[in-house]
Structure 1
Amino acid sequence: MAIIELQNVTKDYGDRRGIFNIDLSIESGEAFGFVGTNGAGKTTTIRHLMGFLKPHIGTVKIKNLDAWHDAAEIKQWIGYIPGEIAFPDVKTGWDFIHQQADLLQLMDLSFANELIERLQLDPSANIKRMSKGMKQKTAIVVALMANAPILILDEPTTGLDPLMRAEFIQIIKDEKAKGKTIFMSSHMFEEIEETCDKVAMIKEGKIITIKSISTIMSNDNQQFIIEFSNEQECTRFMQEKIDSVAISNTTASVNIENNTLNKFLAILSTYQFDNLTEQKHTLQEQFYHIYSGGPSHD
């Protein structure tokens, strides 16, 4: 059953700005990634989910309620990290956390304290003097502390260092294991790969493809890097009828279709080589391929 559903959603600001004919369906318990360049329409889409914007055309529903008309009720089920964080006029991180807990009627802050410890956040710090990373950590704590069943996250790791980004990924994996439904936009492809079941790519306000992460990571062909023992072996190998390219005097890159892998390995066994490395397919590779090649309808 779809817990988040957008049908033909259009918000046209003119001059080809906005989002156009957006169709998305996210199942309960699914982690869904959303990627695109700056200005592609990610945040505009998320603002429709949050009921901050009303579409010119189409419908946005969460748990079968209209995201615009029923925004107040829907927000009770959502933990939200905005793309641009603006704190109210409070003194410390703790002041903001307690203020939001009061609004949510949240009495138990044990999960907030756990997140504070995991993210190494000092909530006693003056909120106006916090670094971007500290502000981001504070926003993460507030978004997750009420244990909402739906998480909507707009570039949630902006400003975090690599260690804290890794900890955030683990936190999201833990939330997913609880059965949470997660919608996350990110320019960090590794975050999407490690946490999401599906990903949609948006370009110039239009969805150009929706794919499962498993499909992206396992392709119909495999790429290998072969380090030959000497230049002569590499030169001889380049004469084979294999889709290959020399990347140095002793190293070649090859693309092998899965159904010809055994044939390739048999050929390779007749050569002297020092190392064979498989190059994994990545979301970033797929993203650049589709963005440069135009719309895909897979």
Structure 2
Amino acid sequence: MVYIDIKHLTKDYKKGRGVFDISLEIEKGEVYGFVGVNGAGKTTTIRHMMGFIKPDEGSVTIQGLDATKSSAEVKRYVSYIPGEINFPGNTSGEEFLKEQIYLSGRGSWGRAKELSEQLQLDVTANVHSMSKGMKQKTAIVSALASDADILIMDEPTTGLDPLMRDVFIDLLKEEKEKGKTIFMSSHIFQEVEEVCDRVAVIQEGKIIEVVNMKNIRYNKNKEYRMEFKTEEDFKRFIGLGYQISKVKAEDLQIFVQIHDEHINELIQTLKDFDLVYFKEIKVHFEDYITEVFKEEK
């Protein structure tokens, strides 16, 4: 079931700025990543999803409701972490969180306290005197404690140190297990690789790729790097007809591309050779996206 449906969304700020003809479908229970450099159009897209901006063309619907026309009703199902966090009022973190839970009519203070402990958030601090990282933690606690069906997050780990980023990723995995639908923009490839089911890549306001992360995590086309002890073995292997992607003759190294189903055959072949080492080269999402950006230039 499609929970968030973006169809031909266009917002033209002129001079090449904005978003242009974006179409995405996010399904119930899916963790969907949205990546691109700063200024690519991530925040503009998310603001349309929240009903803060009216599109020039196209539409966004959330659970069948128009995000612009039914903005108030949509917010009954959605928790949101904005890219720029500015808290209203002059209260403590605890007072702010309790007020958000009351206003949303969802979640509990008990859950907020639990999340605050996990994220090492001092809820007694005044929201205006908080550091950027503390404000980010407060926004995360507010969003997760409200127990909404849908989480929409704009760069949610900005300002978090690596340890707290790991805690946040674990919390997201818990939300996924509960069946929550999550849409998250990020410029940190590692975090989307860890948690997302699919990832859309945006460049200059246009979607250039939608990646199923299973194809990255469980890629059946492998690459191996091997180094031979002797030049004789090095040259002999080259003559066997394997698909070689790279050669470092000075180091007697060969890089071989091979499908999973032929790995055993390769292993058997290498028993006749003297190797210094033999190692799989893992393909990460960042490597894949770097290639996508190169192709687009």
Instruction: Please report the TM-score for the alignment, with normalisation by the length of structure 2.
Output: 0.92
Match of 1:289 among 288, 291, 296: 291
Distance 1:261 1:107, change over 3 A: closer
Quick check: 1:238–1:245 contact (8 Å CA) kept in 2? no
The aligned amino acid for 1:291 is F
The aligned amino acid for 1:93 is G
The aligned amino acid for 1:272 is D
Matches for 1:107-126 after TM superposition, within 5 Å: 108-126=108-126
Give CA-to-partner distance per residue, 1:134-176, whole Å, 9 cap, x none.
Answer: 1111110011111000000111111111111111111000000
Q: Distance in 2 between matches of 1:234 and 1:110?
A: 64
Quick check: 1:172–1:195 contact (8 Å CA) kept in 2? yes
Give CA-to-partner distance per residue, 1:190-222, whole Å, 9 cap, x none.
Answer: 211121111111111111111210012333521
Give the 3-state SS of the residue equivalent to 2:175 in structure 1: helix
The aligned amino acid for 2:10 is T
Instruction: Give the drift of 1:179.
Output: 0.5
Give the 3-state SS of the residue equivalent to 1:210 in structure 2: strand
Quick check: 1:238–1:246 contact (8 Å CA) kept in 2? no
Instruction: Give the drift of 1:260.
Output: 4.4
Q: Which runs of 5+ in 2 are unaligned?
A: none
Instruction: Give the drift of 1:258.
Output: 4.1
Q: Distance in 1 between matches of 2:91 and 2:231?
A: 66
Q: Distance in 1 between matches of 2:235 and 2:165?
A: 44
Q: Distance in 1 between matches of 2:92 and 2:260?
A: 57
Q: Distance in 2 between matches of 1:62 and 1:197?
A: 19
Q: Distance in 2 between matches of 1:107 and 1:216?
A: 35
Q: Distance in 1 between matches of 2:122 and 2:295?
A: 46
Instruction: Give the drift of 1:264.
Output: 3.2
Instruction: Please report the TM-score for the alignment, with normalisation by the length of structure 1.
Output: 0.92
Instruction: Give the drift of 1:108.
Output: 2.9
Query: Which deviates more from structure 2 when the two are superposed, residues 127-136 or residues 80-89?
Result: 127-136
The aligned amino acid for 2:255 is S
Instruction: Give the drift of 1:38.
Output: 1.1
The aligned amino acid for 1:193 is E
Say yes or no: does 1:275 pair with 2:277: yes
Q: Distance in 1 between matches of 2:235 and 2:163?
A: 43
Distance 1:4 1:169, change over 3 A: same
The aligned amino acid for 1:121 is L
Give CA-to-partner distance per residue, 1:265-291, whole Å, 9 cap, x none.
Answer: 343222211332212221111111111
Per the alignment, residue 49 of structure 1 pairs with 49
**RMSD of aligned Cα (Å):** 2.1
Per the alignment, residue 17 of structure 1 pairs with 17
Q: Distance in 2 between matches of 1:147 and 1:247?
A: 58
Q: Which runs of 5+ in 1 are unaligned?
A: none
Quick check: 2:107–2:145 contact (8 Å CA) kept in 1? no
Q: Percent identity?
A: 47
Per the alignment, residue 154 of structure 1 pairs with 154
Per the alignment, residue 129 of structure 1 pairs with 129
